Structure 1
């Protein structure tokens, strides 16, 4: 059995859809973090069958709610002094900037490279975001 030590202080991103941890790692630009990050792929899960987990040591300054766009089943555990002090349930942000990219080749963001990619939540129930420039749809998992 694989053994990854516990965290004294940090964040555990749990219940990630199997195979989705690397996408989240890239999404949150974790390569720029100056702390230990453990990615556990295909861990056994009673609830999901298999899941991915990301453990981040130390305090981090990331808006984790953006993860709800990628996978709404994700749970966030905040660890302090070797204990879970808070479980954070993700809520979809009303607007996101430079998190998801517009795929419409005719969108102004394809031509004007420096423009931020902004999306507005238009359908919370179905997890649908639309580009504020061209109305192209992005649907989260």
Structure 2
């Protein structure tokens, strides 16, 4: 059995759908961090059957954790302070996504121009809309 130490300070990203942990690892750019990171894949779960899990040790939380609310509403963030759970919550979809998803409209400026940020804003309908061409994208992947 695999044994991973508990963290004293940091964050645990729990209930990641099985097979999506590496995508989140890359999206949060965890490979460029100097913090200790553990990515566990295909972990058995009574509630979800199988899941992925990421543990990030450190005093400062990674940037862009808000995008997890866009990816999956079941993801749970657990903030650990002094070895105890300080906060546990499901992130909500952010109002704005920058370079997380790409516009699929072939006539959008982001498809034509290089180095153009892909910016989407959450609309009242609950879908993300491209800032440039108004193409809509659903929440979640």
Q: By the TM > 0.5 criterion, same fold?
A: yes
Partner residue of 2:117?
Answer: 116
SS at match of 1:22: helix
Shift of 1:105: 2.6
In the alignment, the residues of structure 1 paired with residue 3 and residue 128 of structure 2 have an alpha-carbon distance, to the nearest angstrom, of 39
Say which structure is richer in strand: 1
Query: Corresponding residue for 1:129?
Result: 128
Give the conservation status (yes or no) of the 8 Å contact 2:73–2:90: no
After superposition, the C-alpha distances for 1:13-50 in whole angstroms (9 at most, x for unaligned) are 00000001011011111111111111111111111110
Distance 2:8 2:17 in 1: 25
Alignment of 1:1-141 (within 5 A): 1-58=1-58, 59-122=60-123, 123-124=125-126, 128-139=127-138, 140-141=140-141
CA distance in 1 between counterparts of 2:80 and 2:47 reads 22
TM-score (norm 2): 0.90
**What's the CA shift for 1:87?**
0.8
Q: Number of aligned pairs?
A: 138
Give the unaligned 5+ runs of structure 1.
none
Distance between the aligned counterparts of 1:56 and 1:29, measured in 2?
Answer: 12
Runs ≥4 residues deviating over 4 A: none
The alignment's C-alpha RMSD in Å is: 1.4
Q: TM-score, normalised by structure 1?
A: 0.90
- Cα distance in structure 1, aligned partners of 2:25 and 2:122: 23
